[in-house]
Amino acid sequence: MRIRLGKHVEEALKNNQPIVALESTIISHGMPYPENVETALKCEETVLKNGAVPATIALIQGEAVIGLSHEEIDYIGRRGLEVVKVSRRDLPYVMAKSLDGATTVSATMILASIAGIKVFATGGIGGVHKKAEVTMDISNDLEELAQTNVCVVCAGAKAILDLEKTLEYLETKGVLVLGYGTDKLPAFYTRTSEYDVNFRVDTPKEIADILKYKWEMNLNGGVLVTNPVPAEYSLDENVMNKAISEALAEAEALNITGKKVTPFLLAKIKDITGGESLKSNIQLVLNNCALASKIAAEYNK
């Protein structure tokens, strides 16, 4: 396999240090340059400050790199939308063609698992899109959570999705959905939704214990930890619902489908909210990085 460990990740694995995987789609497709690179580096700093080693994952000229250097993060950030957005399906093609690729939740989980990394921090997972009963647009992230042994820390599913159907899909696949300090599913930009998580947990140790028992019993698959955006960065639910409705209507009018949907919607919502959604997005990712680091540290004990 064309896989390379960053030196800092290789050392951390040798020394049995806690490691947190970080995706790269947020760098290439989630934010404009230079905010994308600045945010990626802040994520790494946050992981370090909270007692773990960061492993940002991407493909560079077909090689899967687990633990990008700062120069490689800048390279992915500068190339932006020219970088292929890579899920499970795309990994072999991008490797065989020696292309640059930014990993989604599913591809990041796969590569983290290969390296033996058990905890991964992201912004929000993909899920069941609105009108999926017609379009069948369901993110591969959900299937990956059903089969790959990685704990994913997020701020819930992206608010542009059908949250109720996303939870139903996860239930069908046997994926445990935990709420960190909350009984309700966070909705990415907002701290709550009308939907319940499976169980509330209040400490990183509780989560680490759950991971231990799950995987010791060979109950394969991930665990989804949903961590609400910090209160001061939570956006008004009515404002967000209006912005999402506008963005969805425009995407439908322009016949935007497939991989292009999420980046289009996030960019449109950023414009509608005057940049407030981007500020919220950055803060919730950093918040998830801090929690993921604490979980990784507890799991390593």
- Torsion angle of C-alpha atoms 288, 289, 295, 298, degrees rounded to 10: -150
Place of tokens 């700062």: 70
- Locate 89 and state its tokens: 């399906």
* Torsion angles phi and psi, residue 87, rounded to 5: -110, -175
Only one residue has tokens 């169980």, namely 199
DSSP string, 202-227: -SHHHHHHHHHHHHHTT--S-EEEE-
Three-class SS of residue 257? Answer: coil
Q: Give the Å distances, CA to CA, from 61 to 83, 96, 101, 260.
A: 10, 9, 8, 22
Prior bond to 34 cis, omega within 30?
A: yes
**Amino acid (1-letter code) at residue 247:** A
Q: Which residue in the block uniquely carries the two structure tokens 């950093």?
A: 286
- Name 125's bridge partners: 157
Contact between residue 38 and residue 4 where contact means Cβ atoms under 8 Å apart: no
Kindly name the residue from 23, 144, 276, 298 that is annotated as catalytic. 23
The tokens of 96 are what?
A: 């065989």
One of 118, 158, 268, 294 is an active-site residue; which one? 158
23 part of the active site: yes
- Which uninterrupted H or E stretch holds 108? helix 105-115
Beta partners for residue 161, in sequence order: 129
Rounded to the nearest 10°, the torsion over CA 194, 197, 203, 209 is 180
Q: What is the DSSP string of 246-274?
A: HHHHHHHHTT--GGGHHHHHHHHHHHHTT
DSSP 15: T
Cα separation of 149 and 112, whole Å?
9
Catalytic residues: 23, 158
